[in-house]
Amino acid sequence: MKNTTLKDLSKVLNISVSAVSKALKGYKDISVSTRNEVLRMAEEMNYIPNLNAISLKTNQTKTIGVIIPSIQNQFFSKVLTGVIEEAEKYGYLVITLQSNENFELEKKHLQLVMQKQVDGILISLSNQTKRCKHIEAIIQNEVPIVMFDKINKLVKCSKIFIDDQQAAYNAVTHLINKGYRRIAIFRGSLTPQNSIDRFLGYRKALIENGIEFDPSIVYLCENNDDFNDGFTNTQKLLSEKNNVDAIFAITDLIAVGIIECFKQNSIKIPEDVAVFGFSDWFMSSVITPTLSTIKQPGHEMGKKATQILIQEIENNNNKIPTIIQNVVLPTSLIIRNST
Amino acid sequence: MKNTTLKDLSKVLNISVSAVSKALKGYKDISVSTRNEVLRMAEEMNYIPNLNAISLKTNQTKTIGVIIPSIQNQFFSKVLTGVIEEAEKYGYLVITLQSNENFELEKKHLQLVMQKQVDGILISLSNQTKRCKHIEAIIQNEVPIVMFDKINKLVKCSKIFIDDQQAAYNAVTHLINKGYRRIAIFRGSLTPQNSIDRFLGYRKALIENGIEFDPSIVYLCENNDDFNDGFTNTQKLLSEKNNVDAIFAITDLIAVGIIECFKQNSIKIPEDVAVFGFSDWFMSSVITPTLSTIKQPGHEMGKKATQILIQEIENNNNKIPTIIQNVVLPTSLIIRNST
DNA sequence: TTGTATGCGTTATCAA
DNA sequence: TTGATAACGCATACAA
């Protein structure tokens, strides 16, 4: 059964297509009687406007593309929920694609949504992404794009993120205040801005508190498999007998890997070693010991990013110039039993 | 900067639009020389075909709509990942919407993706969904739709799911074999098929093992907030002093709520009470005690559902009739320390 | 081998 | 108040 079209309605009602169109859209230059007739018949024949045709005509798809590293990451799934819900309020639908932390995939998926003529794009960069020519090409094309969470500071577009450096600083300061002195960091890859910032916040907190920064207790987690990265790096740490009394992990999942390894080695948390996470995944509130961490507003970030993006889209439509925004969302310390 | 169109190319190259179109699509009835010219110029002018126009023309959007109860549910986020990845292989993009376990939202979102002219739909029903007229309307419209996980047996469309009754039966049988006799069930709402089936499996296992089914130790979790449902129902259970020695929970999250409540009441698992979950979320492998559960193939389910859907779409296109399929995916018991 | 004409479903301009 | 017509970008049957 094919969909009912304006033409179908016009035939049945024996009036012109344009009259039908106008009636449906509530134009005032159509008589009330015909309008009612049209409305009734549209209802009866279950008329559904073809959004593709409208898109072609209006040059707007009412669709936005979202590219994130991984849907299964709890933080990003929160963001995505925020995006989808907010977009719908404004009549936009969302096409989602993952980069899997892979630069080539990110580029390819950007192409795909561009082909689809999305009105705007939301992106959180992959760990591999160093240069952003692919993003700049989009901007040049005048398609609004908003970066969130994993951003690149050099790109000229709106961004929404947290103050990673400050958050890490707060976390490590908390550890220091609790009396921990030999604090290791389990950091992420060298490329992403938030990985860098969290590291800088860590180091700053040490230095400001008169604790020497020791590169030998910096552990790199860069296999995109946080739990195992945390676990195996903890084995390494244990074998190195370096007297670490606390660990600041750059994600909750790494922290959970750490905790698991300590458990298996009968090392007490926080008595022997404290562990601090980052992101506040649900899991962290129910493992033993419960994990101290940084609360990061995922849903809020998705919502806000979408608002900004849609604002830019509508600005574009109305030919009013857009001002680039940088929005920094607040985080908070969640102190639990692991520190 | 507007996108380059075929017309733009045809002007620059001084040949007809249709020649350009054919050249780009590699039709053999175009000379190699002009084809190369066209290709070169398309590259140079960064030509991106307008998928909307193609959709309008071909009556195919190469888009599928997915409606799930919640993206943040780890099981569904796995399914969604499978769907998106598989769809891309066949050149399809995915629009995702949530029902939030709400029937009205489910209906509305179904409408939205239909308007968008998606080529097919993947859906997992909300807890509230009793009757499926909204689904049947889609089928009548000849838009392929495949149901997965939370299905309705009466609807005439392909379905992919697990044998919930058998899985629950296996879980409870395991408990019985371990010596537990007074086994409570924390079940989900009365409506969803998988909730019903898991309950039936539970009861069957009891009866087959000569254990009387006792409705007084059936606890209903229907607030769509599994963790708290588990937690508060456990408080209720404790107050009832009913000598329960094991609990079969219908989801891992409920089980985690149960465990949390027992912990707070210093009740030992599995010594005092055993707890069994369902779904094998990652969390379950790291909490204390680790949770015995049923492994449910989310990624696989998304992948398979997408394959079936796309198959049906292509069948439709080629006017070859589609046979409705029912695919049952295997599950397995994961035995850990909570039983 | 190439070009012309038509139509997909809708909107918008201009006449009637 | 209504209708005819063109246009959006593309694909295709058919003519040249």
Tens-digit pLDDT profile for residues A215-248: 999 999 999 999 999 999 999 999 999 999 999 9
3-class state of residue B47 by DSSP? coil
Rounded mean pLDDT, A178-205: 98
pTM value is 0.95
pLDDT value at residue A298 = 98
For residue A30, give every residue at least 6 positions away whose Cβ sits within 8 Å of its Cβ, in sequence order, or none.
Answer: A19, A22, A23
Residue A1 binned pLDDT confidence (cut-offs 50, 70, 90) = low
Residue B3 binned pLDDT confidence (cut-offs 50, 70, 90) = confident
pLDDT at residue B2 is higher than 80: no
Tell me which chain B residue has its CA closest to the CA of residue A75. B72
Distance between CA atoms of residues A219 and A210, nearest Å? 21
Task: Break chain A down into helix, strand, coil percent, rounded to 5.
Answer: 45, 15, 40
How are strands ordered across the β-sheet holding B183-187? B218-220, B183-187, B246-249, B274-276
3-class state of residue B163 by DSSP? coil
For residue A121, give every residue at least 6 positions away whose Cβ sits within 8 Å of its Cβ, in sequence order, or none.
Answer: A64, A65, A66, A67, A110, A113, A114, A138, A143, A144, A145, A146, A309
The share of chain A scoring above pLDDT 70, in percent, equals 100
Contact B95 A97 (CB under 8 A): no
Rounded mean pLDDT, B16-31: 89
The share of chain A scoring above pLDDT 90, in percent, equals 91
Contact A71 B84 (CB under 8 A): yes
pLDDT at residue A103 is higher than 70: yes
Residue B1 binned pLDDT confidence (cut-offs 50, 70, 90) = low
Residue A82 binned pLDDT confidence (cut-offs 50, 70, 90) = very high
pLDDT tens readout for residues A8-43: 999 899 999 999 999 998 888 888 999 999 999 999
pLDDT tens readout for residues B155-168: 999 999 999 999 99
pLDDT value at residue A3 = 85
Residues of chain B numbered 186-245 and touching chain A (CB < 8 Å): 227
CB B229 within 8 A of CB B185: no
The share of chain B scoring above pLDDT 70, in percent, equals 100
Distance between CA atoms of residues B36 and A326, nearest Å? 45
3-class state of residue A118 by DSSP? coil
Query: Is A140 near chain B, with CB under 8 Å?
Result: yes
**Closest nucleotide (CA of B19 to C1')?**
C2
Classify strands B332-334 and B293-295 as parallel, antiparallel or unpaired: antiparallel
**Closest nucleotide (CA of B22 to C1')?**
D11
Q: Indicate the range of A285-294, B54-63, B67-76 predicted with least confidence.
A: B54-63
- Compute how many other C-beta atoms are within 10 angstroms of the C-beta atom of residue B178: 15
Round and report the angstrom distance from CA (A177) to C1' (C3).
80
Write down the residue that tokens 């094991």 correspond to. B246
pLDDT value at residue B28 = 84
3-class state of residue A167 by DSSP? helix
B61: nearest CB among A52, A56, A71: A52
Rounded mean pLDDT, B40-53: 91
pLDDT at residue A152 is higher than 70: yes
pLDDT at residue A73 is higher than 70: yes
Mean pLDDT score across all residues of chain A: 96
Q: The dihedral of CA A284, A286, A292, A298: what is its sign?
A: positive
pLDDT value at residue A28 = 84
Q: Using alpha carbons only, give the angle B26, B28, B32 rounded to the nearest 5 degrees.
A: 80
pLDDT value at residue B26 = 85
The alpha-carbon gap from B234 to the nearest alpha carbon of chain A, in Å, equals 16
More confident position, B324 or B141: B324
Task: Scan residues 38-67 of chain B and list those with Cβ within 7 Å of strand C.
Answer: 53, 56-57, 59
Rounded mean pLDDT, A156-172: 98
Query: Is B139 near chain A, with CB under 8 Å?
Result: no
A-to-B residue pairs, Cβ atoms closer than 8 angstroms:
118
pLDDT value at residue A242 = 95
Write down the residue that tokens 């943040």 correspond to. B72
Longest dimension (CA), chain A: 88
Q: The dihedral of CA B72, B78, B81, B83: what is its sign?
A: negative
Rounded mean pLDDT, B12-37: 90
pLDDT at residue B238 is higher than 90: yes
Distance between CA atoms of residues B233 and B218, nearest Å? 10
pLDDT value at residue B161 = 98
Rounded mean pLDDT, A152-166: 98
Rounded mean pLDDT, B34-52: 91
Q: The dihedral of CA B10, B16, B20, B23: what is its sign?
A: negative
B84: nearest CB among A88, A98, A142: A98
How are strands ordered across the β-sheet holding B120-123? A326-329, A158-162, A145-148, A120-123, A63-68, A93-98, B93-98, B63-68, B120-123, B145-148, B158-162, B326-329
Rounded mean pLDDT, A271-277: 98
**Closest nucleotide (CA of A56 to C1')?**
D8
Residues in chain B with CB shorter than 8 Å from the CB of A96 are 80, 84, 94, 96
Q: Is the CB of A6 under 7 A from strand D?
A: no
